Each structure stands twice: as structure tokens, then as C-alpha cells.
Amino acid sequence: MGLIVQKFGGSSVAGADRVKNVAARVVATRRAGHRVVVVVSAPGDMTDDLIRMARQISEQPPAREMDMLLATGEQVSIALLAMAIHAGGHEVISLTGGQARIRTERVHTRARIVDVDRRRIDRELASGRIVIVAGFQGITDEEEITTLGRGGSDTTAVALASALGADVCQIYTDVEGVFTADPRLVPAARKLREISYDEMLEMASSGALVLQTRAAELAKQYRVPLEVRSSFVDREGTMVTDRSIERRRVVTGVTHDRNVAKITATGVADRPGAAHTIFRAVAARHVNVNMIIQSVPRHERADISFTVAASDMRAAVDAVRAVAAEVGAEEVLADDGVAMVSAVGAGMISNPGVAARMFGALAAAGINIELIATSEIKVSCVIRASEVERAVQALHAEFELQHE
Ligand code: ADP
Ligand code: ASP
Ligand code: MG
């Protein structure tokens, strides 16, 4: 008898029929003799709807109250799912993040989990119950409700699987696994049978929504056995593991991210400490910076461009404007008409020329590159947002990802 953590995303619990379908899956796992901990997201678009409601009330709602509001979505799902399982005659209990003792930092709307006290869940499992936990939320040491950032239910599931030493963490979603590109954008995209933790992390951090970046990071750090699969069809999904049979490939997947904005400070004085001043100011506002590029100085002035999540654009611009005079910047420009496309693959380490092929494919499609960044196993380009679909399709074809 094993312990299995199953996570169901929003589309999997949108509507009574789907909740019943999830209940049937959970009960089947329990019947097979496993102990089951289930994590659920808010139904359908409820989180988006709640955010919209908040914006109708206030342009900048307090982050604490945002968390109070958003955490309600997941509470709807856990209660309905528990009712469905109970109606089938099974022992079950739903728990909020706080009740499940998922402790987070004292940060609102994007908190990180610091630890999970497993005693309550253990007690419930020991009494034979199926345990349903609200995803995306936790509680601070001051008993404040926090949320974990968009897509955070994935992270709840991985953190629970790690804390409980689960045999597997299954992420049930609306696609059949991790694909070579977003199947909604690239019809020829192919489901991967396996993907390494490193590649999964790079794909997640470069926009593959299928797993939250923090979840991929935790899975890698604690070697949590992870499977991404469909909640609608009963088929093998993608295993995220230590090794990957796809390793012989140079590129494993192509990702895109539309949630990107580019900030440019022009005419920054070419002297020690200028970059430090700018990025310290940005970091002080808890804004994550992705790519950074500095032009070669001319007449002792340089331009510095960087990218952030589009949702952080305003905070980043304010931060740079606040230090513009100090670093001698002439202008601070913001552009949210950009997007990022990336090619990811562990095989890049030993195969030179991936970047060149990528630039060639984009050039052949007439797509201009505005910024470039590379890591050991990823090449990313910032392009116009309007060209994302064509770019991803061109790169998918260039690296022949449609073929096994
Ligand atoms: P859930 O609500 O189950 O958490 P998400 O919408 O967060 O689901 O994530 C699943 C979506 O991720 C898919 O519908 C798909 O469009 C998108 N996606 C992006 N890139 C990929 C990829 N490489 N493989 C699979 N899905 C991807
Ligand atoms: N409901 C949250 C969101 O929409 C968390 C999640 O779905 O994982 O971001
Ligand atoms: Mg998700």
C-alpha cells in the first residue's frame, strides 16, 4: 500500500460532472489500496473572476485582502469534492492550507512554502480518510492566509508529496502530459514520455504553464517522483524523473511566455555601481528579473534593458525611475508588447550550434530578435508578442520535435 498525492487543476473541477469524475478517480485509487491526499485548484476561471471583482472595487487592493479573496476559490473546490466522495460512501475530509499546516513566508500573493507540519494529515490518513487539501494557499506563523502565486496548486501538491514521502505525485490537468510545445499553439506537438527535472524546470520557468516553476524547483530539489497526466482520458502521462530517454535530443521542447515586459533605461552613466543601484531598487520591490542586457557604452553612456513578468512592469518602472537621476539615466521605457520564446534541451550542453539554428529559423520566418539570453540548457529570445505563434511553430519544425 502506497501513498499517492493527486492534484487536479481548475478545468478538472469546473462543474458538478467534472467534480464527480474527479471523485471517481480518487475513490478508484483508494480502492486499489493506496492512501490518497488530493490537492485541488479553484474551479474553472474562478481565480480570474475574483481578481476581476477586486479590480472593480479598487485599482490596487491590499495584498493581504487579495489573498483573503483568492483563497476562497480553492475552498469551494475542496468542499464540493469532499461532498462528492462522501456521497459515494467514502470517508473523507477537506482541509484548507492552514488546517493542513502548510506554513509560508510572510509575503502576500506570491509566498513560498517554508514547511509542512504533517501531523494533522497523518492523523486523518490513519483514521482511514481520503484527505482533500486546498491548493495555492498557506498560512504564516502569524496565522495570516497567503497564496503561492498563479498556478500555485502544483506547488502545494509537490510540497505535500515531499513532506509525506509520497510514492508519486500526479498532476492531473487538461492536456495528456508535457508536450514538446504548448499543444494549443502547435498542433504537431508531441507528448513526452519522460522529461528530466532540469528540463522541466527550464520549460516551466520559460512559460510552459503546465507546471508552476516553483513546483518544478521543489520536485527537482527533493527528487519527488512526478507524473503529469490528463484528468479526462485514462492514459499514461509524462514522468518527470532523474533521467530522460529524450536525452539524445538536442532540443526537448520549445516554450513561449506572453507574460513578459521589457524595461529599458537609456543613457545610463558608464561607471561602477550603476547596475547595482538599478537592480537593487528592482529587487527591493520583490520583482524578479529575467534577462538583462547592457549595450556597449558610447560616450560613457550605455542602455540597460531587462525583462520582468508583465504583471510586475509597473513596479519595475517605478523602481528604475526612482533611481534614474542617481545613475544618470535619460529615459525609462516600458514595453509590454513583447514575448519570449525558448528552446530547452539537456542535449545542448554537448551540442554546439543550437543558438545559431534558432536564430536562423527565426530569421527565415522574418522575426526580429530584441533580446537574447542563454543558460546551459536553454536559449531564449524576446520578440514581438504578435509573432509568438509563428515563432514557436518555426522552432518546433526546425528542431523536428514532431518526430519521436
Ligand atoms: P491546470 O488548471 O490543470 O493547472 P494549466 O492551465 O495551469 O492547467 O496548465 C495546463 C496548460 O498548460 C495546457 O492547457 C496547455 O495549454 C499549457 N501548456 C503550455 N505549454 C505546455 C507544454 N509544453 N505541454 C503541455 N501543456 C502546456
Ligand atoms: N487557482 C489558482 C490560479 O488560478 C491556483 C492554481 O490554479 O494552481 O492560479
Ligand atoms: Mg496550473
Cα(147) to centroid of ligand 2, in Å?
A: 9
Pocket test for ligand 1, best of 210, 238, 340, 378 (most atoms within 8 A of CB): 210
Report whether 150 contacts 186 (CB < 8 A).
no
Ligand closest to CA 228: 1
pLDDT attached to residue 346: 87
- Using alpha carbons, list the distances in angstroms from residue 240 to 23, 147, 174, 199, 203: 25, 25, 17, 9, 12
d(CA 214, CA 206): 12
d(CA 218, CA 83): 31
Task: From first to last of the 404 residues of the chain, give the pLDDT tens digit.
Answer: 799 999 999 999 999 999 999 999 999 999 999 999 999 999 999 999 999 999 999 998 999 999 999 999 999 999 999 999 999 999 999 999 999 999 999 999 999 999 999 999 999 999 999 999 999 999 999 999 999 999 999 999 999 999 999 999 999 999 999 999 999 999 999 999 999 999 999 999 999 999 999 999 999 999 999 999 999 999 999 999 987 655 567 899 999 999 999 999 999 999 999 999 999 999 999 899 999 999 898 999 999 999 999 999 999 999 999 999 999 999 999 999 999 999 999 888 888 899 999 999 999 999 999 999 999 999 999 999 999 999 999 999 999 999 88
Q: State the cell numbers at 180.
A: 514538446
Nearest CA to ligand 1 atom 21: 182
Report the run of H or E that residue 217 belongs to, with start and end: helix 213-221
Instruction: Return phi, psi of residue 244, to 5°.
Output: -150, 130
pLDDT of residue 208: 96
Question: Ligand 1 pocket, 184 CB below 6 A?
Answer: yes
Q: Is 171 in the pocket of ligand 2 (CB under 6 A)?
A: no
Ligand 1 atom closest to 208 (CA): 20
238 three-state secondary structure? strand
Among 11, 47, 102, residue to substitute to test ligand 2 (most atoms within 8 Å of Cβ): 47
| CB-CB contact of 22 with 41 (8 Å) | no
Spatial neighbors of 141 by CB under 8 A, at least 6 apart, are 103, 106
Q: Compute CA distances 192 → 170, 178, 337, 345, whole Å.
A: 15, 6, 31, 13
What is the reported pLDDT for 135?
98
Cell 521543489, located at residue = 218
Q: Is 207 in the pocket of ligand 1 (CB under 6 A)?
A: no
For ligand 1, is residue 196 a contact (CB within 6 Å)? no
Probe residue for ligand 1, chosen from 182, 194, 201, 402 as the CB with the greatest number of ligand atoms within 8 Å: 182
Q: What is the pLDDT of residue 247?
A: 57
pTM > 0.75: yes or no? yes
Where do the domains of the chain lie, and which CATH numbers do they carry?
3-174 (3.40.1160.10)
Half-sphere exposure of 31 (CA within 13 A, CB side): 10
Task: Assess contact for 40 and 119: CB atoms under 8 A.
Answer: no
Phi, psi at 292, each rounded to 5°? -135, 135
The ligand that comes nearest to the alpha carbon of residue 153 is: 2
Q: Tell me what pLDDT residue 224 has.
A: 97
CB 196 less than 6 A from any atom of ligand 2: no
* Pocket of ligand 1 contains residue 174 by CB under 6 Å: yes
In DSSP terms, which residues pair with 292 in a beta bridge? 306
**What atom in ligand 2 is closest to the CA of residue 153?**
8
- Count, residues in the chain: 404
